[in-house]
Amino acid sequence: MKSVLIVGASRGIGLEFATQYAANNWNVFATARDEAGLGRLRALGADALMLDVTDPAAPARLAERVAGKDLDLAIINAGTFGPRLAAPDAPAMDDFDAVMHTNVFGPMQMLLPMAQGLKDGGKLAVLSSKMGSKGARTSAGGWVYRASKAAVNSVVKDASIILASRSITCAAFHPGWVKTDMGGADADLTVQESVSSLRHTFLQLAAEHNGGFFDYDGTPIPW
Ligand SMILES: NC(=O)c1ccc[n+]([C@@H]2O[C@H](COP(=O)([O-])OP(=O)(O)OC[C@H]3O[C@@H](n4cnc5c(N)ncnc54)[C@H](OP(=O)(O)O)[C@@H]3O)[C@@H](O)[C@H]2O)c1
């Protein structure tokens, strides 16, 4: 039986990953921040863990649950959009800190325990965003979120260099513009469409994709 870890799976894209992998008979480890989220995951048959990626105690708690589990795939999905400001409107420092802690510090501190749970040759996917791409940028809206996703793309690249020694493929992914609490009702894709396509893309991941940045359908995205 294949196994997957999804960090940040209480709702939206993360919950849909848990739903689809469970439906395909994968062993699912998943995290949420409250009892309601944990309940939704347990209802799918997942091994659910209470975890906030910004909590300094989170890495040890996750390592305790997944180290040595020989996971095939680990996904860091947790993310927040933060203030809907465009350049040059400076964010409040607390708003800036909340976005950076969740979207950058969170992945930085979760990568080691996630890697400890993965088998050699496994795959590590980070949910980034095309909004973090400088090469594809045509707008300055949501600039705190954009900065955070550009930063996490750097984190992914560093992780890919280190994890190559264990033949782990580590890459950043844009899920499309998806109808979730974050994406809103006008988004292009249903959460089912996005996750179904991402799952297919993850299946195709090979060593040559290590350290890359890809759209949900596998198309490379410029940094
Ligand atoms: N939707 C889109 O169009 C879109 C586009 C590009 C990229 N993305 C990225 O895709 C990922 C999922 O997005 P989504 O649309 O599903 O967002 P969402 O509906 O807002 O859900 C966000 C998820 O992240 C979790 N989370 C937030 N802060 C966390 C923390 N500190 N610790 C642990 N979990 C935390 C939330 O848990 P709680 O329920 O506890 O808050 C929730 O499960 C994000 O990284 C997002 O940036 C989304």
pLDDT tens figures, 128-139: 999 999 999 999
In this prediction, residue 110 carries a pLDDT of 98
pLDDT of residue 223: 95
| 26 Cα distance to chain centroid | 18
| pLDDT computed for residue 172 by the predictor | 98
Q: Which residues contact 33 (CB under 8 A, 6 or more apart)?
A: 10, 50, 51, 52
Q: How far is CA 108 from the centre of its chain?
A: 12
Q: Would you state the pLDDT for residue 151?
A: 98
Using CA atoms of 148, 186, 40, 36 in order, give the dihedral in degrees to the nearest 10.
Answer: 70
Residue to mutate, 80, 139, 214, 221, ligand 1, most ligand atoms under 8 Å from C-beta? 80
Ligand 1 atom 8: the closest Cα is on which residue?
129
What is the structure's pLDDT at 103? 98
**CATH: 3.40.50.720, 1.10.3720.10, 1.20.140.10, 3.40.50.2300. Which one for 3-215?**
3.40.50.720
What DSSP designation does 209 have?
G
214 C-beta closer than 6 A to ligand 1: no
Sheet containing 3-7: order of strands: 47-50, 27-32, 3-7, 71-76, 118-127, 169-174, 213-215
Closest residue to atom 47 of ligand 1, CA basis: 79
Span from the CA of 223 to the centroid of ligand 1 (angstroms): 21
Report residues of the chain scoring pLDDT below 50. none
Please, which residues have CB within 8 angstroms of residue 142's CB and are 6 or more apart in sequence? 81, 82, 84, 85, 86, 131
- Please report the pLDDT score of residue 16 as a whole number: 99
Helical H runs in 67-166?
A: 93-100, 106-117, 143-163
pLDDT the model gives residue 47: 98
- Compute, in angstroms, the gap from residue 12 CA to the centroid of ligand 1: 7
Q: What are the Cα distances from residue 50, in Å, to 15, 76, 183?
A: 14, 15, 24
- Would you give the DSSP letter of residue 91? P
Q: Is the CB of 10 under 6 A from ligand 1?
A: yes
Cα separation, 213 vs 100, whole angstroms = 20
pLDDT at 44: 98
Angle 191-204/12-23 helices, nearest 10 degrees?
60
Give yes or no for a contact between 116 and 67, defined as CB atoms under 8 angstroms apart: yes
Confidence at residue 61, expressed as pLDDT on a 0 to 100 scale: 98
Give me the residue spans of the domains in the chain.
3-215
Residue pLDDT, tens place only, 19-31: 999 999 999 999 9
Whether residue 42 contacts residue 50, with contact meaning beta carbons closer than 8 Å, is answered with: no
Site to substitute for ligand 1 among 182, 191, 221, most atoms within 8 A of C-beta = 182
**DSSP string of 93-115, one letter each residue:** HHHHHHHHIIIIIHHHHHHHHHH
**Which pLDDT belongs to residue 148?**
98
CB 191 within 8 A of CB 175: no
